[in-house]
Amino acid sequence: MIRDSRIANDLTAAWPSLPYIALGVWLAWAYLAYSGSMWLSDVETNGANIAGFYIASTVSFAIAMLAAPLKTPFIERLLQSDACALGAGLSASLGCVMVILAGSYYLAVSDLFYPGACLTGVATSFLGLRCARLYAGLVPRKAILYTALSHVVIACVYFVAMGAPQWQPVAGGPSLMGIIALVGLPVVTALLACLPAMVPGKDHAVTTDRKDVPPVFWKMVVAIFVFALVENSVRANIVYVMPPEVTQDTNAVLMIVRIAMAAVLAFMAMLERKIDFGRIYSFVMVAAVVFVAFVPVFGPLNVGWGMSVSAVSVVFEFVIWCILAFVAFQKRISSIVVFGFGYGSFMLGSALGWMGSIYVIPLIAGPSSQFAVYLVLALTVLGCVFVLFSERDFDRLFSPEGDQESLERLFDIEPFHGVDAKKSPFCAIIERACEKYELTSRESDVLRYLAMGYSADAVSEKLGISWNTVRTHSRNIYTKMGVHSRQELIEAVDCMRRESESRRS
């Protein structure tokens, strides 16, 4: 497995946030793919093919995400496999190749286009769940910081890909660098997501039972769906009609907005005060109401006003990803359940918003009656923020149950420490042993449980790795520490503890 290799452990030891950047690379691929920048030919006059690709890919993505919680144990086993992650990355790349080959200057076989788009959606949904699994183990401040870092990565990758040399293997077709970016980014995402997470995550068991999900969570899922549907109804109308160049220019501006937003939220996460995500959620929803309600005034095809609606969506997407990570961390619910339904509803709403804007609204409302349509959409969002899922519901969602920590308490945890900011003497001894004997991150995890008297089977279950992997790490630990059994290891750790206590006294 990649996460058990020495190179992978050395990489994450030097750069602990590296696995979490997988989120940024995945979303960078999504924005490049859904803008058409990397695969369109010069014969395009509007965004019809962009719309077709977006709808097919996001519908497939949403269906896969929403179906995943129905088979949580099976999906969890797949997510633990690096081979499955790499397979998903390669499958997404294959889908991209199919889309490119369907172009006018290549095979011009339209039968490849939609299967390829659907394949990208299903494959990247697995990568999305893999990223979600990482973020669900982070304390809130660190989740915000790494999400902000990922959004900066989105913008950087986007601008590098767009600014790369435009040499075309076939005149009139997509550029070579565009093809490489489109095909290569899913594989890079998979590789990053397979790296071992060096930062402390949750050490408690998570539930996979949907009955343990707070009822108010489902209200939030509906609110997410409605927002995504309304926002994308506005954006799709512009993308579908305007030339692809307009879409690309709009995305460039939104990337600058994304960097500014990430910087602000990262700065807020570094402050000692608690971040009121309930207030941010309400503000974003109200802003969406205002912008959508005024769409008929400025015109459905007004690029500037449509860009404002999309900018609100950028902030909303950031906030929702963080909120879902908070829910999974605090409630100890499987990330497959939380993100499967939460982010799946966001993508489903996005796809249906595009379909409604392109195919439904023109049939039921002429230019003179579109004001009423957008007013209804705006009022629907308003109903979500004040009736369906309000700030009070947000507070109820994070009210602690049993031995759960409150969200306020979780925000008190320093972003670069684990859940237990003050290390216990045992943890300090384990860390000293790891430094003394130069153990890798995974070996330190195994050592911790071996020193507590756990068997190889118990360690395998605790860490979610195979029995053979535990045995391999155990042998390496024994060799480095100069012991021959678990009992000798426990005695060696106990000896280090006594030496530490004697020095303090």
pLDDT, mean of residues 27-52: 85
pLDDT, mean of residues 12-37: 91
Count of Cβ atoms closer than 10 Å to residue 230 Cβ = 27
pLDDT greater at residue 207 or residue 182: 182
Of the listed ranges 146-150, 231-235, 413-417, 460-464, the least confidently predicted one is 413-417
Contact 315, 261 (CB under 8 A): yes
Same domain, 453 and 310: no
What is the chain's mean pLDDT, rounded?
85
- Domain stop point among 357, 382, 410: 410
Same domain, 360 and 473: no
Q: Rounded to an integer, what distance in angstroms lies between the CA atom of residue 203 and that of residue 141?
A: 18
Question: Is there a domain that residue 415 lies in?
Answer: no
The distance in angstroms from the start CA to the end CA of the chain is: 45
**Cα dihedral angle (446, 450, 455, 456), rounded to 10 degrees?**
30
Q: How many CA atoms lie within 13 A of 161 on its CB side?
A: 31
Q: Which of 65, 178, 175, 46 is nearest to 130 (CA)?
A: 65
Contact 161, 169 (CB under 8 A): no
- Domain stop point among 410, 441, 456: 410
Q: Which of 97, 98, 94, 82 is nearest to 22 (CA)?
A: 82
Q: Which of 223, 138, 146 is nearest to 394 (CA)?
A: 223
Of the listed ranges 110-114, 121-125, 177-181, 322-326, the least confidently predicted one is 110-114
Q: Which of 397, 464, 327, 419 is nearest to 142 (CA)?
A: 419
| Residue 344, pLDDT score | 97
| Residue 419, pLDDT score | 40
The predicted-structure confidence for 353-391, as pLDDT tens digits, reads as follows: 999 888 888 777 666 677 788 888 888 888 888 888 888
Same domain, 42 and 76: yes
Question: Is there a domain that residue 419 lies in?
Answer: no
Question: Is there a domain that residue 416 lies in?
Answer: no
Q: Rounded to an integer, what distance in angstroms lies between the CA atom of residue 17 and that of residue 152?
A: 13
DSSP-derived letter for residue 43 is T
CA separation, residue 401 to residues 331, 338, 392, 410 (Å): 8, 17, 17, 14
Torsions phi, psi for 466 (to 5 deg): -70, 160
Same domain, 214 and 69: yes
Question: Is there a domain that residue 67 lies in?
Answer: yes
Question: Is there a domain that residue 314 lies in?
Answer: yes
| Residue 505, pLDDT score | 58
Secondary-structure breakdown of the chain: helix, strand, coil percentages, each rounded to the nearest 5: 75, 0, 25
- Where residue 461 falls among pLDDT bands split at 50, 70, 90? low
Of the listed ranges 134-138, 154-158, 432-436, the least confidently predicted one is 432-436
Q: Rounded to an integer, what distance in angstroms lies between the CA atom of residue 344 and that of residue 292?
A: 23
Same domain, 406 and 430: no
Same domain, 95 and 154: yes
Same domain, 109 and 241: yes
The predicted-structure confidence for 292-330, as pLDDT tens digits, reads as follows: 888 777 776 777 877 888 899 899 999 999 999 999 998
Instruction: State the sign of the Cα–Cα–Cα–Cα dihedral 497, 499, 500, 505.
Output: positive
Q: Rounded to an integer, what distance in angstroms lies between the CA atom of residue 309 and that of residue 294?
A: 10
Contact 319, 281 (CB under 8 A): yes
The predicted-structure confidence for 385-400, as pLDDT tens digits, reads as follows: 888 888 888 888 888 7
Domain that holds residue 394: 2-197+208-410
| Residue 181, pLDDT score | 94
Same domain, 145 and 49: yes
Most confident of 123-137, 154-168, 271-285: 123-137
Q: Is the pLDDT of residue 249 over 90?
A: no
Helices (H), 139-276: 140-163, 176-193, 215-241, 244-270
CA separation, residue 139 to residues 28, 194, 321, 349 (Å): 24, 20, 13, 28
Same domain, 179 and 259: yes
pTM above 0.95, yes or no: no
Question: Is there a domain that residue 396 lies in?
Answer: yes
CA separation, residue 66 to residues 329, 330, 345, 347 (Å): 20, 22, 7, 10
Residue that is written with structure tokens 């950087």 in the block: 156
Amino acid at 396: R
Same domain, 321 and 460: no
Same domain, 373 and 491: no
Count of Cβ atoms closer than 10 Å to residue 252 Cβ = 16
Please report, rounded to a whole number, the percentage of residues in the chain having pLDDT higher than 90: 39
The predicted-structure confidence for 331-350, as pLDDT tens digits, reads as follows: 889 999 999 999 999 999 99
- Domain stop point among 376, 410, 444: 410
| Residue 376, pLDDT score | 86
411: which 2 tokens?
């925000």
pLDDT greater at residue 299 or residue 290: 290
CATH number at residue 444: 1.10.10.10
Question: Is there a domain that residue 203 lies in?
Answer: no
Number of domains in the chain: 2
CA separation, residue 367 to residues 242, 291, 296, 300 (Å): 17, 18, 9, 9
CATH number at residue 374: 1.20.1250.20
The predicted-structure confidence for 182-191, as pLDDT tens digits, reads as follows: 999 999 999 9
Q: Which of 447, 459, 227, 264 is nearest to 348 (CA)?
A: 227
Question: Is there a domain that residue 447 lies in?
Answer: yes
Q: Rounded to an integer, what distance in angstroms lies between the CA atom of residue 466 and that of residue 345?
A: 34
Same domain, 127 and 218: yes
| Residue 308, pLDDT score | 86
Q: Rounded to an integer, what distance in angstroms lies between the CA atom of residue 287 and that of residue 285?
A: 5
